[in-house]
């Protein structure tokens, strides 16, 4: 019988695996967010079609980024994932990002057990330059109609930098 008192933990960061919860499926224009006070997903807004998510979007449980929200994940998968599911994911790197002047990094991951792509993805470099350009373009411009210039891509970090950021966000969560 399941123990409903168990909590979803961040994962095995040292070994490069985290748990991530899907908020927004790839291709969706719905800005869905986790509301930890109510323990439920909420529809924050509907974005214009041109700003549909180019990749599955989620978060690592029991983390807090510097912006006060859970640490975001960009989940590379061959198809959209459903809001609310969680998966074990292999850390590939991190998109260093600011939103309204606040750190809002996004850890890039892929399913730890993805038999479609096998072990082909081990770092963000394996995703290719074009993929990185598309992600940078999306996150640089997705708020242009609402608040131009409010987002800024700083660059990319490797797996070790992503792990360091995850550990900092776990510590921030534990000390809140």
- What's the gap between Cα 164 and its chain centre? 15
Question: Which residues, in sequence order, are bridge partners of residue 60?
Answer: 71
Residues within the annotated binding site for Mg(2+)?
67, 72, 104
Residues within the annotated binding site?
31, 45, 57, 67, 72, 104, 142
DSSP 70: P
DSSP 26: T
Residues within the annotated binding site for substrate?
31, 45, 57, 142
Cα–Cα dist 76/84, whole Å: 16
Map tokens 């719905």 to a residue.
30
């Amino acid at each position: 019988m399941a123990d409903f008192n168990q909590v979803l933990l961040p994962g095995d960061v040292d070994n490069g695996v985290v748990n991530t919860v899907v908020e927004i499926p790839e291709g969706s224009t719905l800005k869905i967010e986790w509301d930890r006070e109510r323990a439920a997903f909420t529809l924050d807004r509907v974005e214009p079609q041109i700003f549909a998510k180019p990749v599955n979007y989620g978060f690592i449980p029991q983390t807090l980024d510097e912006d006060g929200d859970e640490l975001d994940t960009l989940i590379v998968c061959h198809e959209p994932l459903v809001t609310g599911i969680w998966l074990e994911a292999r850390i590939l790197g991190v998109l260093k990002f600011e939103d309204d002047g606040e750190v809002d990094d996004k850890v890039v991951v892929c399913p730890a057990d993805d038999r479609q792509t096998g072990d082909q993805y081990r770092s963000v470099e394996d995703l290719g330059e074009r993929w990185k350009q598309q992600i940078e373009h999306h996150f640089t411009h997705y708020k242009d109609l609402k608040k131009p210039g409010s987002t800024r891509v700083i660059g990319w970090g490797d797996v070790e930098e992503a792990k360091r950021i995850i550990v900092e966000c776990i510590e921030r969560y534990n000390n809140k």
